Chains A and B, each alone.
Chain A
Amino acid sequence: MSVQPSSLAAISCTIFEDLLRDYTHELTQKIHRMSKLALQKCERCNTYCRQHCTKPGFDIYANNVQTPSSIPYYQCLSCRREIAASRYAAHMEKCKGRSLSSATSYASLLEGDSANDDE
């Protein structure tokens, strides 16, 4: 239990101490909140998404950096063949019958274009 200060100096010290403590509290509360939220599991994606992975060779979600062997395939909108992403643009140029003109709406363009989904 603290003793009641009697001198003016002692009272000033107590007031100052309280003020300082209060400001420090406000400051650390911000960091406390950020850190605590980072340590809690996200309700939506069930991972610790407020934490970033900072290991070299990985991105923030701890995914491996894409290598030639892990390149995805996308379906060509004209010939419906599965093409590796890095060669997609080159293929599109050579693929005859870039038949976008025959599509009647954006929705029909997406029919059979399931490779475009990312889940």
Chain B
Amino acid sequence: MVNDVETCPHVKLQSSFLESYHKICAQIYARNNLRRCCRVCRKSNKRTLHCLECEFTGCLWDEHFEQHVKESNHLFGADLKNSHLYCYSCKDYVYHPRLEMLRIKVQNIRNWQNKHKRLPDRYEQTISLNPYEKYPSICSTAGLRGIQNLGATCFMSVILQSTLHNPLLRNLFLSGFHTSENCKRSSCMTCAIDNMFASIYASKEKTSFYGPTVILNLMWKLSKSLSGYSQQDGHEFLVYLLDQMHSESGGDNSFPCNCPIHKIFSGSMKNVITCCECKTKKVATDPLMEVSLDLHESSIQGCLERYISPEQIQYTCSNCNAKVATKQLFFDKLPPTLCLQLKRFEQNSFAMSTKVDKLITYPMLLKMQYNFNQDSVDYQLYAIVCHKGTLDTGHYIAYTLFQDHWYLLDDTTITVVPESEVMKTQAYLLFYHEKNLVYDDEHVERK
């Protein structure tokens, strides 16, 4: 480790200091006509600082603020361009964890306010730092832990990792949507998953990793096809897990289903069959939980285009009795989380499976068209599941995006990897997440 640096010891977190900092940050992020000129020279391009203890503003570069420090013994100035704090004792910008928390909160609230033209509900509660004084701050590595392989269970570990880093699922579980205290069900998979989230996100020790013994036991008990000691298909486990959690959170067989799992993963497709002769259209709506792509193209975009391109089929038209029609799929409603499965495991005519190792390129940002290709939405890649080796003696690994860095999760070993490596893997499952999540304004919904 390089020479360490102490957090600025001159910061005293009194309420007057916090209030003052809060006020300055709010002014900066409101983007109003904030006067950024120095009291002494009237210039605004020499990096003006606003004093934390009085109303003085002065240049950083032309030393006018330094004069103020000598005269008044006020040590701190907030940069009026980006609200970072400058300490004249340390003679440098300082980043105190709690002040950073406050600064980012103010920035987020202001962004929300600029969009919705009012303050969020419970604004005072949101802006307060009091809860954080009771609890210690969150470690930046919270949530990034390995998962123990229990003997050919890496197919399960990689799916669990992709679940841990799905932003919506993570927020859902960490907000306590399903805890074992409140659940009276015996053998509940959702409780086991909640326990996993709690364990991993609360873990302070860097040497710790999660042993999914309970999840393994439950899976064998509840699923006939996945039980037994052997390597299974990762995607099959994902389908099973989502379905199990859907049943356990009150989901039913209706379409669309309103359970949280379906709200996150489920969308719909429009299946349009057009008769070649009389052009009569028959439109059906099919549910969509993931997109399984054939590997005939060399890029994901190509595979997706093929997926939604028209094809000729044998079909008897109910109108004119013609035997040929074109079928075309359109993305109708796209879910916040989109899972793309590359069909690497093929079953040939002898019911033997082979693996296709072809390299398919995929983008970090994916634009998907929906609503009969009239609208589009941007997706961001956040997790990849790869399968290495042959069908029977293979190994699963996962890549995940965590706090703006990509990590390789290989059982219990976590390493940081450059983006270039992440974009060239032999991906089997690609997890994309909507880049911008738009929540309905709660005030609008109430009517």
Give A contacts to B, CB under 8 Å: 18-19, 21-22, 25-26, 29, 32-33, 36-37, 39-45, 47-52, 54, 59-63, 65-66, 72, 74-75, 77, 85-90, 92-93, 98, 100-101, 103-107, 109-110, 113, 115-119
Contact = CB atoms under 8 A, between A and B. Distances in A.
Contact of B2 (A39, A77, A85): A39
Contacts of B7: 40-41
Most buried by A among B84, B97, B139: B139
Contacts of A98: 217, 220-221
A40 B6 contact: yes
Contact of B413 (A22, A37, A42, A59): A59
Contact of A45 (B82, B204, B228): B204
Contacts of B151: 85-90
Contacts of A101: 187, 221
B230 to A, nearest CB: 9
B214 A49 contact: no
A61 B414 contact: yes
8 contacts: A36-B93, A36-B94, A47-B206, A65-B413, A89-B151, A104-B186, A105-B185, A116-B211
A103 B186 contact: yes
Contacts of A106: 180, 183, 185-188, 191-192, 195
Contacts of B144: 60
Contacts of B203: 118-119
Q: Size band of the B side of the interface? A: 35 or more
A60 B192 contact: no
Contacts of B415: 54, 59-60
A39 B3 contact: yes
Given A36-B95, A52-B416, A118-B211, A89 B187 contact: no
Q: Which 6 A-B pairs have the closest CB atoms?
A: A61-B206, A89-B151, A118-B208, A88-B150, A39-B5, A44-B139
